Amino acid sequence: MADDAGCADLQRIRELIKGKEIDYRRYNFSCEQNTLLRVFSDLAQDLDSLEDFYGLCVVAPKEFLGLACALYLFAEDTVSFHLASEAGEGVVESVSASALLHPSVDTYEANGSYVLPICRQGNVGLDQDSSAGEGILGLLVVGGASSLADMEVQFLGKYVNRIAVNLQSRLLAQQNISHLKFINGLVMDIEHNVIVPNMYFRHLFNDLKKSVAEIAGIEVAMIELKEKSSGPNKDWADIGQRVGHLHQQLIKQHHQLQEHHSTTSLFLESLFRRDHFVQGHLVLRPRYCKVEEEIIAPQLDHFASRFVDRGIVVETPVDMGGEELLLVVDVGLLSQVYANFFSNALKYVEEITDHRGKSRKAMTYGREFVADFFGPGRHGIKLNVFTTGPHLGHEEAASVFSEGFRGEQFKDQPGSGHGLTFVKQVIDIHGGVVGYEATAEGNNFYFVLPLPAKELALAVVVGPPQLP
């Protein structure tokens, strides 16, 4: 099937080549014109600076064809054109500013000169607003319009297309460089203005913890005073209950704040590393880690109240018992993998009737040893996140980790369809594999990671997956 598509593409390219061959035979360009196109193409690749390229655009027609030219570029900030380069006297002066602002994307005459718009080629992502100048990047103004034959004007149109392709690629490269510089600067700003000040929350949490302890002391003192007072005192009892309730609420809020801060700090650090932006891809900071204790448990704690609110039972798996295996992973990025899985569970889990005839609305997680998964003697550990609910269709199952994927039955659910794509990116750079499988009572999303050699001896403690 892929070979057929490749053959079809090659045939299309052959047809395009034949069409261009016929066109150029019909154009019948002169030797000077053909040489101009070749020289322009060669030098456009050799010249690095934009200023030299602008000079090439106007000097080449002057040298080969004796045509005086001026190059104007669209200036977005003023919504007008400004002179970039000229070759030959009298060209700029012969064209008024109002004539240069003509909105047409076709060649036109103005005060004895030809004005050829340099138009954007295709749907390439330049920042320039296409409505300003109707996608025009610039203008090539050529003097001596009255002396040019139709064939020469046709040639200039082809020449301007060459300018447009090269100009657009150079502007796009310049724009990308500017964007990268901005992003690198932004990362430094985030590190300086967000991540470092974020550490101050630890000081605030410590102060809050002291206040909680002080309330606990007040509660104890009030109980002692109540015991010393003669006879029952309803007011003392009410106040004591209120203080005790406040104490428990503050303990709970302190825990939630601290847990949320820890998770947010971890995600900020792992997403806004400068290395990601310098390298242009996610960069790992791996270390040995107890996945259950250091990654899964904190994320479950983070989502616990939301699971309760939605009536979802988090079932403790039997296959996570026994000795905890150490894996070499990036804790911050893998924590976000589980955060994405748990977030999806909140959205998509559904109540079912299980094999015993009982209602079940649940999420569970687990692991299993997979021998020789990555080749002979290269074993893996499979980590599962299961939810009850209807299965994905065949096509959906094949595309579930693709960018922007949203299952048809979940189109009304909030989300961008990026979460599982992020999961795949993280597992890929860990040297692992992601996957989906339908089970008897729901859906299992999993990933398999290489098991470090020193952990193989412990792998026997890992039991089979407990997925219904």
Task: Quick: pLDDT tens for 242-262.
Answer: 777 778 888 887 777 878 778
Residue 315 lies inside a defined structural domain of this protein: yes
Q: Which of 95-104, 137-146, 180-189, 286-295 is predicted with the least confidence, judged by mean pLDDT? A: 95-104
Based on the domain organization, do 261 and 285 belong to the same domain?
no
Average pLDDT over residues 396-408: 76
CB distance 257 to 198 below 8 Å: no
Measure the CA–CA gap between 17 and 11, rounded to whole angstroms: 10
Residue 426 lies inside a defined structural domain of this protein: yes
CB distance 385 to 345 below 8 Å: yes
Give the end of a domain, one of 243, 272, 301.
272
Q: What is the CATH number of the domain that holds 354?
A: 3.30.565.10
CA dihedral 249, 250, 255, 257 (to 10 degrees): 110
Based on the domain organization, do 300 and 263 belong to the same domain?
no
Based on the domain organization, do 303 and 264 belong to the same domain?
no
Based on the domain organization, do 205 and 221 belong to the same domain?
yes
Based on the domain organization, do 389 and 240 belong to the same domain?
no
Give the end of a domain, one of 272, 295, 313.
272
The more confident residue out of 81 and 188 is 81
Residue 398 lies inside a defined structural domain of this protein: yes
- Among the ranges 7-11, 122-126, 141-145, 443-447, which has the highest mean pLDDT value? 443-447
Measure the CA–CA gap between 420 and 428, rounded to whole angstroms: 12
CA dihedral 313, 317, 318, 319 (to 10 degrees): 170
Does the structure show a pLDDT above 80 at 63? yes
Give me the pLDDT at residue 124, please: 52
Question: How many residues belong to the chain?
Answer: 468
Q: pLDDT tens for residues 139-155? A: 999 988 778 888 898 89
Residue 193 lies inside a defined structural domain of this protein: no
Residue 156 lies inside a defined structural domain of this protein: yes
Burial of residue 342 (number of CB atoms within 10 Å: 0-12, 13-18, 19+)? buried
Confidence of residue 406 (pLDDT cuts 50, 70, 90): low
Based on the domain organization, do 215 and 237 belong to the same domain?
yes
Average pLDDT, the chain: 80
Based on the domain organization, do 258 and 203 belong to the same domain?
yes
Based on the domain organization, do 169 and 260 belong to the same domain?
no
Does the structure show a pLDDT above 50 at 436? yes
Closest residue by Cα to residue 342 from 381, 382, 311, 302: 302
The H or E element spanning position 80 is strand 80-87
Based on the domain organization, do 110 and 165 belong to the same domain?
yes
Residue 192 lies inside a defined structural domain of this protein: no
* Start-end of H helices in 293-410: 297-309, 331-348, 394-399
Confidence of residue 197 (pLDDT cuts 50, 70, 90): low
Please tell me the total count of domains within the chain: 3
Average pLDDT over residues 97-121: 77
Give the end of a domain, one of 272, 304, 331.
272
Based on the domain organization, do 289 and 433 belong to the same domain?
yes
Residue 96 lies inside a defined structural domain of this protein: yes
Give me the pLDDT at residue 46, please: 92
| Tokens standing for residue 174 | 């310049």
By DSSP bridging, strand 359-360 and strand 69-75 are unpaired
Q: What is the CATH number of the domain that holds 90?
A: 3.30.450.40
The more confident residue out of 370 and 112 is 370
Give me the pLDDT at residue 435, please: 95
Based on the domain organization, do 306 and 449 belong to the same domain?
yes
Measure the CA–CA gap between 66 and 59, rounded to whole angstroms: 9
The more confident residue out of 68 and 419 is 68
Residues forming a β-bridge with 385: 365, 445
| Greatest alpha-carbon span in the chain | 118
Q: Work out the angle at residue 422's Cα, subtended by the Cα atoms of residues 417 and 426, and round it to the nearest 5 degrees.
A: 160
The H or E element spanning position 71 is strand 69-75
Based on the domain organization, do 268 and 283 belong to the same domain?
no
Handedness of CA 64, 70, 74, 77 (dihedral sign): positive
**Is the pTM value of this prediction over 0.85?**
no
- Which range of residues forms the domain containing residue 337? 278-461
Q: Which of 187-196, 262-271, 309-318 is predicted with the least confidence, judged by mean pLDDT? A: 187-196
